Amino acid sequence: MKVYIQTDIEGIAGFCFFENRADQSMENFNHRQRMRKLLTNEVNAAVKAAFDAGADDVIVNDSHGTGYNIMFEELDPRCRIIHGRNCSGPHWLPLLAGSDALVLVGMHAMGGTPCAITPHSLWKINDGAIYMSEGTMAAAIAGDLGIPAVFVSGDNKITAEFAEKIPEITSVVTKEALSPYQACSLIPAAACQKIYDGVIAGLKNRGSVAPYRVSGPVKLELLDNAKHIPPFDRIGDAVTADTVSEAFLKLEKGMEWTVFDLEHADGFVYP
C-alpha cells in the first residue's frame, strides 16, 4: 500500500498566527522553529500510523510556504519527503500517481471562512458552483486519479468542509477556532495520538471512501489577496479544462512562482 501525505502548517495544534518570514528577531525565529517542530511531530504520527496500517511506501509532501518546513532529519526513516521550492504544484503531481490513499495533515480553511484559523486561498470552480480549500483541491486532484482522501486534520472549520464533500473521511479536530488568530487547541502530544489513531482508522476504512471527483469540464480560478480578507482578487488567469487536475496544472503553470522556477534552472535563488 502506498500512502501520500499532504501537509500544511496552519492546521496543526498550537498554530494560530501567520508566520512572518520577514521578521528576523530571535523571538520570531524561536516561534517558527517551535511550529516546525510541532508540524514534524504531527507528520511523524501520521507516517508511523500509515506503516502500522500496512503501508510499504509513504511519501510526505512538505507543501507549506517555502516547502522546507518539516525537520526531515527527525522523520521516520521509512518514508520519503518531497520538499524544496514550490511544493504547491505542479511538480508533486506525478508522485501522487499509484497511491492507494491520500492523508492530509495540518490543513486550513479556505479563504473567506469566518472565524477559522488563518484562512486563505480560495479555489473557485465553475463561477462559484463549488468553492474549495487547498486541502479539498488536493483531494479532488487525487480523486481524478481514483485515490480516496481517507484522513484530514486541522481546525474545526476545515474538517467541516471535508465532511461536507467527503462524508466518509476520518477527521481529527486539532483545535476549535475562536477567531482567525485564537483557538482552543489540543496539547500537541494529544493531537499526535489522535492523528495516529485517526490515520490507522482512515486507512482501514479506505475501501468505503469514494474518491472525491468533480465532474468536468471545469473552469478554475484562484482567489486571495495580501490581507486574506474578502473581497478577493483573482490570482493569475481563469482556466478551463476537462478535469480539475488538468485545470490545476494549467493554472499553476501560468503562476508567477512557477515561471520563476523555470527561469532559474540553476535552482539556487531562494524565494
Q: Whats the size of the chain, residue-wise?
A: 271
Our measurement of the distance from residue 244's CA atom to the centroid of its chain's CA atoms, rounded to an integer in Å, reads 16
Q: Which is nearer to Zn ion, 64 or 194 (CB)?
A: 64
Residues 6 or more apart in contact with residue 136 via CB below 8 angstroms: 110, 123, 161, 162, 165, 166, 212
Phi (first) and psi of residue 248, to 5 degrees: -60, -45
Is residue 37 within 8 Å of residue 44, measured between CB atoms? no
| Residue nearest Zn ion, Cβ-based | 64
Q: Which is nearer to Zn ion, 10 or 224 (CB)?
A: 10
Q: Is the dihedral of CA 174, 179, 181, 183 positive or negative?
A: negative
Q: Rounded to the nearest whole angstrom, what is the least distance from the CB of residue 137 to Zn ion in the complex?
A: 13
Q: Rounded to the nearest whole angstrom, what is the least distance from the CB of residue 8 to Zn ion in the complex?
A: 4
Among 5, 8, 194, 224, binds Zn ion (CB under 5 A): 8
Q: Rounded to the nearest whole angstrom, what is the least distance from the CB of residue 154 to Zn ion in the complex?
A: 11
Segment contacting Zn ion (CB under 5 A): 6-14, 125-133, 139-147, 212-220?
A: 6-14
19 is an interface residue for Zn ion by CB under 5 A: no
Segment contacting Zn ion (CB under 5 A): 49-57, 61-69, 75-83, 135-143?
A: 61-69
Q: Rounded to the nearest whole angstrom, what is the least distance from the CB of residue 112 to Zn ion in the complex?
A: 16
**What grid cell was written down for 204?**
482501514
Residues 6 or more apart in contact with residue 158 via CB below 8 angstroms: 11, 107, 108, 109, 116, 133, 135, 152
120 is an interface residue for Zn ion by CB under 5 A: no
Q: Rounded to the nearest whole angstrom, what is the least distance from the CB of residue 104 to Zn ion in the complex?
A: 12
Segment contacting Zn ion (CB under 5 A): 57-65, 71-79, 216-224, 244-252?
A: 57-65
Phi (first) and psi of residue 128, to 5 degrees: 105, 5
Rounded Cα gap, residues 221 and 99, in angstroms: 27
64 is an interface residue for Zn ion by CB under 5 A: yes
Q: Rounded to the nearest whole angstrom, what is the least distance from the CB of residue 119 to Zn ion in the complex?
A: 11
Which residues of the shown chain bind Zn ion in the complex (CB under 5 A)? 8, 10, 64
